[in-house]
Chains A and B, each alone.
Chain A
Amino acid sequence: MLLNPLTLHLPKTPLEAAKLYKELEDSKVLAGGTFLLNSMKLLKTKGTKTARNILSLAKVDDLKGIDFKGDTLTIKAMTRINELFDYSLPKGHLEILHTVCRNISTNPIRNMATVGGNLTCRYTWTEMGAVMIALEAKMHFLGPDGKEDILTAEDFFKNAARSEKLFTHVTIKTNPAARTAYRRVRKTLHVDIPMLAICVKTEIKGKQWYNSRIGINNGVAFAQRDPVLEAFLDKSSSSSGLGEQALEYLTATIYDTRSSEYKQHMFRVSLRSAIEEICKST
């Protein structure tokens, strides 16, 4: 027996799921299962109690799928990472989502893990947070009364990725002026957990950068923006030295927190190369 006994709840609609999410005590939400079931197994081996009620979203069809209408991309919570990887995204900065998906773990995990799970599992090292902050994504939550709350990804992670309501989908707007670059570094060659992930987004007029958004995942805190670096980049233009110059503006509380020298070095390498990638594309 790999898991402790539990009661599995299988709602069929988002509202039914949202009501159970509010009502069930000692419960966890099961999306793809790649974080939750693994951690429950690990806790069992240590003799630790695990959630008695599991609220599975596997049969809630309205939480599955991707849609692009007008200028808005909608990714529903139960969309698998590989479904997003295979989806024909609109040309432009949103294609960065393919790069993010490509770099997540292994193929069977990408077939199972969901975008919603990655965003809301409350592990600080998951990949999607930084990119959703950089892309100025909006996260939608459904309450038991059927009312929807919409939060920016930035606000959601500022609140330590907590919500009393059920996460249903994320929306992102296209932006023809935007450019993006993404970097992810794994912890070790053999353990595919990211040590850091960064997403740089900016808008370009001529060579001038503006409305830059830097999403940082340092693995220690929840994904966050870097306003100091953004302010510097917004006063800058694409040039061959911009990546190097940007390294003067890294805030210690983001990049040095409980970091080894290797990790600090990899942050610098990653940020420099991401910024240079955008410079070269303009």
Chain B
Amino acid sequence: MQVNLTINKKLYTLELKGHETLMEVLREHLSMTGTKTACQETECGTCTVMINGKAVLSCITLAANAQGDEITTIEGLANGDVLHPVQQAYVDCGSVQCGFCIPGMIMSSVALLEKNPQPTQEEIEYALDGNICRCAGYPKIFEAVREAGKKMKSEN
């Protein structure tokens, strides 16, 4: 079936099969490998992308179901060489260890901060509870979210 997907504000017309997940389409059809794949059963959050501003799991999203929606992946955050404030905060705060979970973490963080740039610790934990970091680097990740929120608030 022919499917129109809007990804990072760009329209893609693709010939897809009904069973293809958004994660497979991003990684295998469009080579957007920033979105990671790990558990493939909704436990880990590495495949998190944003659809219409909400953090969702691309491993259980059928690509054809996302027609007409605004899909944002980690590749769509930076403006050229300038990192998104959340990406920059993750770098500045030393929040990245092995880095595998980080694209998903960042997408969940952006979805939170776009709605609420000054979240409480409880709100950060609520928003990121679906993203697992096996390096257990959570304190630095939470710090980056708070710092990015401050920057995003001051920029608005």
Contact = CB atoms under 8 A, between A and B. Distances in A.
- Give the interface SS of chain A, mostly helix, strand, loop or mixed: mixed
B19 interface: yes
Interface in B106-136: 108, 126-130
Interface in A44-71: 54, 56, 58-59
A41 interface: yes
B60 A54 contact: no
Given A2-B24, A38-B42, A82-B54, A107 B19 contact: no
Given A6-B19, A38-B42, A106-B45, A56 B65 contact: yes
Interface residues of B, number: 30
B60 A33 contact: yes
A260 interface: no
A1 B65 contact: no
A58 B126 CA distance: 25
Contacts of A7: 18
A38 B65 CA distance: 16
Nearest to B47: A108
Interface string B45-89: 100100000111101111011011000000000000000000000
Nearest to B125: A107
Contacts of A33: 60-62, 65
A107 B60 contact: no
A3 B65 contact: no
A112 interface: yes
Contacts of B155: none
B40 interface: yes
B85 to A, nearest CB: 20
A8 B130 contact: no
A269 interface: no
A2 B54 CA distance: 23
A109 B62 contact: no
A34 interface: yes
A38 B43 CA distance: 10
A24 interface: no
17 contacts: A1-B19, A1-B24, A2-B40, A3-B20, A3-B21, A8-B65, A38-B42, A38-B60, A41-B40, A42-B41, A59-B68, A102-B126, A106-B130, A107-B55, A108-B55, A111-B56, A112-B61
Lowest 5 A-B CB distances belong to which pairs?
A106-B130, A8-B18, A3-B19, A108-B130, A37-B60
Given A5-B18, A37-B21, 10 more contacts: A6-B19, A34-B42, A42-B41, A107-B108, A107-B126, A107-B128, A108-B42, A108-B57, A109-B130, A111-B55
